[in-house]
Structure 1
Amino acid sequence: MKFLELMKKKGLVAAHRGARSIAPENTLSALKKSIGKCDFIEIDVQLSKDRTVIVMHDNTLQRTTNIAEIDSFRDKKPYRVCDFMFEELCMLDYGSWFYKYKNHKEPLLTLKRALEFIKENSLFINIEIKDMSNCFEDRIVIETIAKEIEEAGVQERVLISSFRHEYLIIVKEKLPNVPSAALVEGRDPDNLLEYLKSLKVDAYHIDNALVDKTKVKMLRETGFFVGVYTVNNPQLAKELFEIGVNYIFSDCLNKKLKVI
């Protein structure tokens, strides 16, 4: 099955940053624990200073690593991901911050390893590309990520999304057979349908505050898939599926979210 075929099914649930309610987000442990509890996994990626694609949500390292405890890195505040070499990032612990007892360390997850995992387990993955325009040229970002997807041979199992819509135009050029989605928050772009067509995207991912029945109907009738983030309430999930939303992104992988 291809990702586009999966998206046509009803009531899909995506594991937001993996199973992040029970494991440190965007780690291999989070991906492993999401198996059997979702229809596809969502992760965030960005580049290290030497252009290794790593799995990380924040553009700084302080929230989800132990970097503040390492004296040798204190002169690198505010700890931007793009200021660190891959070798330096591998020195950090990506798990102890999450657990009550600080003895559950987690290694850095790379996109390469995440794609290997998806392939090994016949899973699907949504790769959200974080905005790195303050560190790298757009084309460098997309070419680096596209190369890893191609080398892994998982084009049919990937959906690419981003809040930086300039990326999506290059994605369609480099990976024409990989579906893409425009992420937005706060407000819809003007002339929404024409705007999405200009990006050549397949889907529109929106905050649940922007959802209404008329908009979803319009998008679906025009051929766009609709994904909504972040939905942790079963009743809200039910309501969204009832008005035609294709899939939701959730931190809490609860069977009740599947009720439609």
Structure 2
Amino acid sequence: MNFLELLNKPELIVAHRGANSLSPENTLNALKKSIGRADFIEIDTQLSKDGIAIIMHDDTLLRTTNVSQLSEFDSKKPYRVCDFTFEELKRLDYGSWFYTDNSKAEPLLTLHDALIFIKENNLFLNLEIKDISYAFSDNEVVEKIVKEINDIQCSDRVLVSSFRHEYLKIIKTKLHIPTAALAEDSHPKELLSYLRGLGVDGYCLNDELVDKKSVEMLREAGFFVGVYTVNSTLRSHVLFEMGVNFIFSDSLYKDKQ
């Protein structure tokens, strides 16, 4: 089964940033805890200063690492990810902020290792490319991501999404892989024509933006629809009744197999 075949199944649950209520988000442990609890996993990728694809949501390291506790990095405030080399990023702890006893450290997760884990465990992955156009050219970002996917030979198990839609248009010229445009505050004008122009397979939108008419229009036009971030069981039922294909959740996990 490839990713597009998976998306034909109803009422899919996506582990948002991995099982992030059980382990620190975007870490290998969050991926491990997702097994049996979700239909596929969503994680975020961006580049280090020297162009290594790593797994990280925020554009700074403050929230999910111990960077502010290390005086050696004081000169790098406000701690933008793109200002740190891969070797510097590896010196940080990505886990103790999450645990109440502040004792468990987590290592940096690279895209390379995340893709290997997905392939070895027969999982499916929604890879969101963060908008890092302020630091790297669009082509450079896409080429790095495509190389990692090609190296691991896992394109049948990956869906690429982004708020920076330019990435999605470029990636379709380089790789046969499903893509999805992300939207937060408003729909692009002439939505269906816009999505067709990007060549995407799906559209993922903020729960506050979704309505039944739009979902029906998108589904009838052949696009898959995902909604983020949904942590209410009641709301998930409403969205699935609308025809939404999948929801991203921090807590609505399936029973572990």
The 8 Å contact of residues 26 and 56 in structure 1, kept in 2 or not, is answered as yes
Match of 2:136 in 1: 136
Query: 8 Å contact 1:112–1:148 — kept in the other structure?
Result: yes
Q: Following superposition of structure 1 onto structure 2, how do residues 87-98 of structure 1 map, counting pairs within 5 Å? A: 87-98=87-98
Q: Is residue 198 from structure 1 mapped to residue 197 from structure 2 by the alignment?
A: yes
Identity score, percent: 62
In 2, Cα distance between equivalents of 1:254 and 1:146: 30
- Two-structure CA RMSD over aligned residues (Å): 0.8
Give 1:102 deviation, angstroms: 1.2
CA–CA distance in 1 between the matches of 2:236 and 2:254? 11
Letter matched to residue 106 of structure 2: E
What is aligned with 1:7? 7
Q: Secondary structure at the match of 2:42?
A: strand
CA deviation map 1:209-241 (0-9, x unaligned):
111111101000000000000000000000100
| Equivalent in the alignment of 1:251 | 250
Asked whether the equivalents of residues 163 and 183 of structure 1 are also in contact (C-alpha less than 8 Å), the reply is yes
Distance 2:127 2:113 in 1: 13
For the pair 1:146 / 2:146, whether they are aligned, the reply is yes
- Cα distance in 2 for partners of 1:174, 1:43 equals 21
TM-score by length of 2: 0.98
Q: Equivalent residues in 2 for 1:169-184 (5 A)?
A: 169-175=169-175, 177-184=176-183
Other-structure match for 2:75: 75
What is the CA distance between 1:85 and its match in structure 2?
Answer: 0.4
Q: Deviation digits for residues 3-35 of structure 1, max 9, x if unmatched?
A: 000001100000000000111000000000010
The aligned residue for residue 230 of structure 2 is 231
Equivalent pair of 2:160/2:177 in contact (CA under 8 Å): yes
Hey, what's the Cα distance between the residues in 1 that align with 2:31 and 2:38? 10
Q: Name the amino acid aligned to 2:214.
A: K
Alpha-carbon distance in 2 for matches of 1:178, 1:103: 40
Contact 1:182-1:204 at 8 Å conserved across structures: yes
Unaligned 5+ runs, structure 2: none
1:188 match:
187
Residue 65 of structure 1 deviates from its aligned partner by 0.2
Q: Secondary structure at the match of 1:197?
A: helix
- The CA distance in 2 between the partners of 1:214 and 1:246, in whole Å, is 15
Q: 2:4 aligns to what SS in structure 1?
A: helix
Contact 2:94 2:107 in 1 (8 A): yes
Structure 1 Cα separation of the partners of residues 63 and 149 of structure 2: 28
Consecutive aligned runs of 4 or more in structure 1 exceeding 4 Å deviation: none
Shift of 1:255: 3.5
Q: 1-side partners of 2:50 and 2:198: how far apart?
A: 29
2:207 corresponds to: 208
- Give the AA of the match of 1:237: S
- Is 2:36–2:254's contact at 8 Å kept on the other side of the alignment? no
Partners of 1:34 and 1:253 within 8 A in 2? no
* Residues 153-186 of structure 1 deviation map (CA, whole Å, 9 limit, x = unaligned): 00000000000011111010111x2000000110
Output the CA distance in 1 between the equivalents of 2:252 and 2:108: 23
Residue aligned with 2:126, SS: strand
